[in-house]
Amino acid sequence: MSDPTTLGIADALRLLADGEISAVELTRAHIERMEAGRALNAFITETPDLALAQAKESDTRRTRGEEGRLDGIPLGIKDLFCTEGVQTSAASAILKGFVPPYESTVTANLKAAGTVMLGKLNLDEFAMGSANVTSHFGPVENPWKRRSDKNAKLVPGGSSGGSAAAVASGLCMGATGTDTGGSIRQPASFCGIVGIKPTYGRCSRFGVVAFASSLDQPGPMARSVEDCALLLGAMAGHDSKDSTSAPMAVPDFTKALGGSVKGLKVGIPTEYRPDGLNAEVAAIWDRGVEWLKEAGAEPVSISLPATRYALPAYYIIAPAECSSNLARYDGVRFGLRVEGATLDDLYRETRAAGFGAEVRRRILIGTYVLSAGYYDAYYNKAQKVRRLIADDFARAFQNVDVILTPTAPSAAFGIGEKSDDPVTMWLNDIFTIPASLAGLPGLSLPAGLNQDGLPLGLQLIGRPFDEETVFRVAAAMEKAADFTAKPDLFAAGGA
Amino acid sequence: MSLDRTTVRAIANLARIAVPDEDLDHLAGELSNILTFVEDLSSADTDGIEPMSSVAAMSLPMRDDVVTDGGYADKVLANAPGGATEGFFTVPKVVE
């Protein structure tokens, strides 16, 4: 049998069912790989003992015919999901030593499906970043290398950078991510994997460390569209512990795969092709349109005129919600505490020591835009613009079934680049933020390599709760793209 | 929009984050840049548009007003920095 760490989830499930591999064997192979790939810094916490114990239980369940639908599949969990008894850091110093006494609903659902947890994956601090360089535990390295410079260390994207790097290099079969403005899709694009941010409300946010509650949404990251469909099916579902989780049945997303896209109308937004768009990104987008045409779909030019306001609106709304959510880190009940003479001193010193530069910046901006006298000019205005953006999409979806755009304005860049000015870094999410503001499902899939050998992704945006059409179109594009390239680390079978 | 040192100090105080004096100028510059960046919003015509606070097109679900959780003070206190004291989180003295 081939190296188990190169298998897809669907293939592994077949081998497990046929008794050709055990969950323990599959898990052990991934633990070895996780250890070999430590140079990437993808994991904050490795849990090999827990993983092997879970794998043994999985094998027992399977012998008894009691297996769950993903039984024995080793996954990585973004360290933003609370996991009972396993440190959860949000990649921040302020959660130092925090061991949750409860489990997030998404990871509980995955456990119930029989999955094995290999460990907790690195991310930008509190999921705030687009390059995984703001983590208290250091940057994550992208397993892909430039052909022109094999020594340059590239970012995996962010904030789910550990998830993307680990999946791309075979350290785990799939991973959870979370996406507030592009944190699943952009790293998926940078690392040549598939990731979907489902419709807001599809997955429960209970137990996910909050960043911007009206935008945060968990989703899966894996090496194929099918694997993402399998994972999302297990992660999603209504949860009474999250009042924004949708009381809707979860379809079998895998049934949408392989369906014809003939006659489907695919919106191509003119506003996503600004002057100066990277030529290779534009070319791969054109190629994506051609693939869909060849499969019988019909491209339709659409206009989303409020797009130019998406980034500024996001950078008011997200910091505002962040400043409110992160008020809970006060040094009193969990995490870091720096003693002070007064309670206020304790708060101030704890938060000064515990938050990194980007998080501090966003808390301050959020505090400012919510402060008396500025609320209407900033926050209220941004909320109005948010509706304009959502209305644009609603109007477009009267005429099209799905929208195709680039995922990110560039391929992966070097660690340390774009770090001088926060706004330059934020521009990474220019194509993913609008769908976040509108709460729509967005999937990124690898479409090809640029001249320098780095993956470029394309994004499919769907109607609310119509992940099925997104998956159907993604599967057709995946077939046409035939993206078989692998990062050096994956191909070499070791770090 | 440009923020000065005094404003940054006031915001940091509202956010309960100690900011050393030597950081104030740098932060004022960064925050001012961000505010300039978001100023583009003022050119958007939003007359008569309702602010959108949630994309979830649903009303908040109601449930019976009964206790559904609790009874595990030890678990709640387990992460208290420096440990809990006799079943309490501890803070510096706040009442003279």
Query: pLDDT of A83-139, one tens digit each?
Result: 999 999 999 999 989 999 999 999 999 999 999 999 999 999 999 999 999 999 999
Which residues in chain B touch residue A346, judged by CB atoms under 8 angstroms apart? 91-92
With 0-12 / 13-18 / 19 or more C-beta atoms within 10 angstroms meaning exposed / middle / buried, residue B10 is middle
Residue A159 falls in the annotated catalytic set: yes
Which residue in the set B37, B60, B81 is minimally distant from A243, CB to CB? B60
Which residues in chain A touch residue B53, judged by CB atoms under 8 angstroms apart? 214, 383
Compute the nearest-CA separation of A335 from chain B (Å): 6
pLDDT above 90 (res A462): yes
Considering only residues 52 to 91 of chain B, which have any Cβ-Cβ distance to chain A shorter than 8 Å? 52-58, 60-61, 63, 72, 75-76, 78-82, 89, 91
Which residue in the set A308, A341, A437 is minimally distant from B92, CB to CB? A341
Share of chain B above pLDDT 90, in %: 76
Across A186-191, average pLDDT: 98
pLDDT band at B53 (very low <50, low <70, confident <90, very high): confident
pLDDT above 90 (res B57): no
pLDDT band at A459 (very low <50, low <70, confident <90, very high): very high
What's the whole-number average pLDDT of chain A?
A: 96
**What number of H helices and E strands is found in chain B?**
3, 0
pLDDT band at B61 (very low <50, low <70, confident <90, very high): confident
**Position A221, amino acid:** M
Across A274-292, average pLDDT: 95
pLDDT above 60 (res B96): yes
**Any B CB within 8 A of A372 CB:** no
**Residue A493: per-residue pLDDT:** 46
Residue A138 is encoded by which pair of tokens? 């250091």
Residue B87's φ and ψ, nearest 5 degrees, are: 80, 15
**What number of H helices and E strands is found in chain A?**
16, 11
- Among B7, B9, B17, B79, most A C-beta atoms within 10 A, so best to mutate, is B17
Across A225-232, average pLDDT: 98
pLDDT band at B59 (very low <50, low <70, confident <90, very high): confident
Across A361-390, average pLDDT: 95
C-alpha–C-alpha distance, residues A178 and A78, integer Å: 8
Residue A335 is encoded by which pair of tokens? 């995490």
Across A387-396, average pLDDT: 98
**Any A CB within 8 A of B34 CB:** yes
CATH-assigned architecture of domain A8-261+440-494: Alpha-Beta Complex (3.90)
CA distances from A467 to A8, A196, A254, A255, A460 (A): 21, 9, 11, 11, 10
> In which element (H, E) is residue A33 found?
helix A23-36
- Asked if residue A191 lies in contact with residue A142, where contact means CB atoms within 8 angstroms, the answer is yes
Which residue in the set B16, B75, B78 is minimally distant from A351, CB to CB? B16
pLDDT band at A389 (very low <50, low <70, confident <90, very high): very high
| Residue indicated by tokens 């030890």 | B74
**Any A CB within 8 A of B38 CB:** yes
pLDDT band at B74 (very low <50, low <70, confident <90, very high): very high
- Asked if residue A102 lies in contact with residue B69, where contact means CB atoms within 8 angstroms, the answer is no
Q: Report H helices in A372-466.
A: 381-396, 422-426, 433-438
Could you list the beta-strand ranges (E) of A167-316. Answer: 174-179, 194-197, 217-222, 265-269, 298-302
**Residue B79: per-residue pLDDT:** 96
**ipTM, 2 dp:** 0.96
Compute the nearest-CA separation of A445 from chain B (Å): 25
Across A226-231, average pLDDT: 98
Side-chain-facing half-sphere of A101: CA atoms under 13 Å: 12
Asked if B61 and A244 come within 8 Å (Cβ–Cβ), the reply is no
Across A260-285, average pLDDT: 95
If one counts every other C-beta atom within 10 angstroms of the C-beta of residue A24, the result is 19
Residue A58 is encoded by which pair of tokens? 């999985």
**Residue A494: per-residue pLDDT:** 42
**Residue A490: per-residue pLDDT:** 67
SS3 A445: strand
Compute the nearest-CA separation of A134 from chain B (Å): 17
So where are chain B's domains?
5-42
Asked if B42 and A381 come within 8 Å (Cβ–Cβ), the reply is yes
**Residue B1: per-residue pLDDT:** 66
Compute the nearest-CA separation of A339 from chain B (Å): 8
**Residue A2: per-residue pLDDT:** 76
**Any A CB within 8 A of B95 CB:** no
Asked if B81 and A342 come within 8 Å (Cβ–Cβ), the reply is no
**Residue B60: per-residue pLDDT:** 79
Which residues in chain B touch residue A97, judged by CB atoms under 8 angstroms apart? 79
Compute the nearest-CA separation of A451 from chain B (Å): 32
Residue A243 falls in the annotated catalytic set: no
C-alpha–C-alpha distance, residues A119 and A156, integer Å: 18
So where are chain A's domains?
8-261+440-494
Asked if B14 and A367 come within 8 Å (Cβ–Cβ), the reply is yes
Considering only residues 351 to 370 of chain A, which have any Cβ-Cβ distance to chain B shorter than 8 Å? 351-352, 355, 360-361, 363-365, 367-368
Query: How confident is the model over A31-57, as pLDDT tens digits?
Result: 999 999 999 999 999 999 999 999 999
- Among A239, A384, A427, most B C-beta atoms within 10 A, so best to mutate, is A384
Q: What is the pTM of this model?
A: 0.97
Compute the nearest-CA separation of B90 from chain A (Å): 7
SS3 A219: strand
- Among A367, A389, A437, most B C-beta atoms within 10 A, so best to mutate, is A367
Which stretch of A346-355, A413-422, A441-450, B27-36 has the lowest confidence by average pLDDT? A413-422
For A416: left if phi > 0, alpha if psi spans -120 to 50, otherwise beta; the answer is left
Residue A78 falls in the annotated catalytic set: yes
**Residue A378: per-residue pLDDT:** 95
